[in-house]
């Protein structure tokens, strides 16, 4: 995670965040999430964030519908804060953004806001483990994950060699495949909420096996 500003404890993060509700997208601590921003409300949100702490709250809606401007669909209770580490203008009114994951938060309550985007009071304290995360898993788990991650990469038509997967640190590999895997929103949320790297690794392994089994018994490709 490449960030100029380190965060070492929950108290170092703002308790009020701008929210970006997005179905099917999670941001794990230490992960990187590329975003293509084009809606006026979210262009305004990133403009405002760049003038302040550059921290955005990613969160999934409960009903898997992001909602039109002015709509406030119910949100899941756990999201993740990310710091803007890249932002570039595309020349056609859009931003290309990369968020680097910092820590998960619990949604306390939504705030009344005059901005076109949603804002909320959040609590990072339940996720102190995110500030000093477990970095490795057992060799046996890693070997199993290497095998199934390569199968997933092939099914997703990703140009990545098995040796490159095996060379990735445990923490990075688990974050990458949890975020890009062909999982439904509820499965992605479960990966976000998993406790500890070992817990997330075991869940990723189980969900990847299910996804590959679904693809085997279906004519639809993974995506």
Per-residue pLDDT of 147-201, as tens digits, reads 999 999 998 888 899 999 999 999 999 999 999 999 999 999 999 999 999 999 9
Determine the pLDDT at residue 1. Answer: 47
Expressed in angstroms, the distance from the first to the final Cα of the chain is 26
For residue 15, give Cα distances in angstroms to 61, 63, 105, 199: 20, 25, 10, 27
Domain locations in the chain?
10-130, 139-216
The per-residue pLDDT for 215 is 66
Q: Where are the beta strands (DSSP E) in 51-143?
A: 55-59, 78-89, 95-111, 118-123
Strand 32-37, strand 16-21: pairing: unpaired
> 10-130 has which fold?
2.30.130
Decide if pLDDT at 216 tops 70. Answer: no
Q: What is the mean pLDDT of the chain?
A: 92
Residue 220 has pLDDT above 80, yes or no: no
pLDDT for the residue 213: 87
Residue 203, C-beta contacts closer than 8 angstroms, at least 6 positions apart: 190, 191, 194
Q: Helix count (H) and strand count (E) of the chain?
A: 6, 6
Q: What percent of the chain has pLDDT over 90?
A: 82
Choose the weakest-confidence range: 1-5, 146-150, 194-198, 212-216.
1-5
Task: Determine the average pLDDT of the residues in 121-146.
Answer: 95
Can you give the pTM of this predicted structure? 0.91
Structure tokens at 219: 């004519």
Average pLDDT in the 211-220 region? 70
Angle at 97 (CA atoms; ends 52, 31), nearest 5 degrees = 95
> Can you tell me the mean pLDDT for 90-109?
96
Q: What is the pLDDT of residue 6?
A: 84
Classify residue 61 by its DSSP letter. B
Q: Is the pLDDT of residue 141 over 70?
A: yes
């Amino acid at each position: 995670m490449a960030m100029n500003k380190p965060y070492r404890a929950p108290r170092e993060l703002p308790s009020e965040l701008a929210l970006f509700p997005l179905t099917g997208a999670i941001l794990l601590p230490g992960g990187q999430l590329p975003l293509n921003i084009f809606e006026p409300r979210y262009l305004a949100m990133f403009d405002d964030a760049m003038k302040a702490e550059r921290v955005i709250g990613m969160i999934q809606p409960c009903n898997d519908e992001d909602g039109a401007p002015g709509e406030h669909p119910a949100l899941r209770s756990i999201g993740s804060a990310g710091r803007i580490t890249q932002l570039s203008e595309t020349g056609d009114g859009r931003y290309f953004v990369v968020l680097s994951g910092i820590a998960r938060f619990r949604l306390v309550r939504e705030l009344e806001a005059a901005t076109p985007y949603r804002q909320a009071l959040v609590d990072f304290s339940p996720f102190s483990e995110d500030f000093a995360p477990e970095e490795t898993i057992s060799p046996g788990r890693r070997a199993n994950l290497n095998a199934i991650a390569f199968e997933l990469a092939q099914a997703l038509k990703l140009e990545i060699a098995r040796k490159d997967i095996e060379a990735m640190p445990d923490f990075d590999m688990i974050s990458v495949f949890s975020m890009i895997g062909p999982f439904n929103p509820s499965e992605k949320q479960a990966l976000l909420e998993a406790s500890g790297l070992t817990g997330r690794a075991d869940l990723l392994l189980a969900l990847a096996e299910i996804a590959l089994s679904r693809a085997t018994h279906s004519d639809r490709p993974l995506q």
